[in-house]
Amino acid sequence: MNNMYFTEEHELFRKSFQEFLQKEVVPHIEKWEKTGTIERFIWKKFGDMGYFGITYPEQYGGMDLDLFYTVIFLEELQKINSGGFAAAMWAHSYLAMTHLLKEGDERIKEEYLAPSIAGDKIGCLCITEPFGGSDVAGMKSTAVKKGDKYILNGSKTFITNGIYSDYLVVAAKTDASKGAKGMSIFLVDRDTPGISATKLDKLGWRASDTAEIAFDNVEIPAENLMGEENLGFSYIMQHFALERLIMGVNAHARAEFALDYTINYMGEREAFGKTIDKFQALRHSVADMASEVEMCKEFNYSIVKRMIDGVYVVKEASMSKLLSTKIADDVIYKCLQFLGGYGYMEDYPLARLFRDSRLGPIGGGTSEILREIIAKMVIDKKEYKPAAE
């Protein structure tokens, strides 16, 4: 283990989290993958153990730990081979809850953040729209001020926890004439009249519920506006760096899991009188893959460290997601091949891993969008500044 970044306390946390996952989560994974419904009890167990509050302030029930504990949380979730379960957990903890912490007022933190940390309330973040995709600024959803309320209309799609969550963090245009500068963030209760959600049928991430959500004249109390009106776009951009880094870390973790499993398999599988880990073509391919994964991992850890030090890492986080997700897909593709026919069987882990991994270059900013962001920074010398907090 990399002692430059992880202390003995980190490793004790890793071990206890591994044991928790094996005992409380792994026995249910197959069922959740089949039903597409993660039962409520597991959210409460995560909450009771403090796992949703790793980096959150103690005053709301969090543990106030450093970001490397989050890295451990993410890595170990990838290694139980359900990208969907992992996504449901981190989308709650790091997408929805991040906005509550950063933009929510004291009432919102008490009524929503604290119960989210405790595992009593589940959140989702609603940004992507059916016709917008990665074009966040082109958002069509509107929230029009009317007295002491905002009237929300529009739709969102590909929303993780979009069916079973208790509240929604929603981005909408409050001033359509201002483009990206006219967007705001709202907290919306699930039981508010006018909200309907449809479950989507996905290639992978089968355990998580992913929804298309429609808002039809949904009335939001004005006090549920989070942060300043019309500053929503900068808040979203602010948190994208963390989301991209999370997806980069997830990618190196699942690639490492695939490689470890495959190396183990190759040591047991015999062909032509010897185990297949003795064949040079396969050995050299493993050497290449191990090198790439190790470089990803070191790069990702270094970005986490910079984030802890207060550096705004939008370029590096975009690079992390772009490269790590590509390498993860390549590694998992090859590892499946090394299992031969068994790689194609759902009884073996590589089939699901292959499907789950494929979302990496798509979700949280497509690789194409990331390349354009990186190109702007590298070629056009564009500088992205964090939103003023």
Give catalytic residues, as residue numbers: 243
Show the tokens assigned to 30: 């197959």
**Cα–Cα distance, 324 to 298 (Å, whole number):** 11
Distances (CA, A) of 65 to 56, 177, 225, 308: 7, 42, 28, 11
**Cα–Cα distance, 184 to 180 (Å, whole number):** 10
Cβ(353)–Cβ(81) below 8 Å:
yes
DSSP annotation of 254: H
**Pure H helices in the chain:** 8-20, 26-35, 40-49, 67-78, 83-90, 97-103, 106-108, 114-118, 232-268, 280-308, 314-338, 349-357, 367-378
In order, the DSSP letters of 61-99 are: T-----HHHHHHHHHHHHTTT-HHHHHHHHIIIIIIHHH
Cβ(353)–Cβ(122) below 8 Å:
no
Q: Which residue(s) pair with 127 in the sheet?
A: none
Cβ(148)–Cβ(221) below 8 Å:
yes
Q: Which of 154, 131, 130 is nearest to 143 (CA)?
A: 154
Q: Which residue(s) pair with 186 in the sheet?
A: 170, 225
**Pure H helices in 82-224:** 83-90, 97-103, 106-108, 114-118
Mention every residue, 6+ apart, whose C-beta is less than 8 A from residue 45: 20, 24, 119
Q: What are phi and psi of 199, to 5 degrees?
A: -75, 135
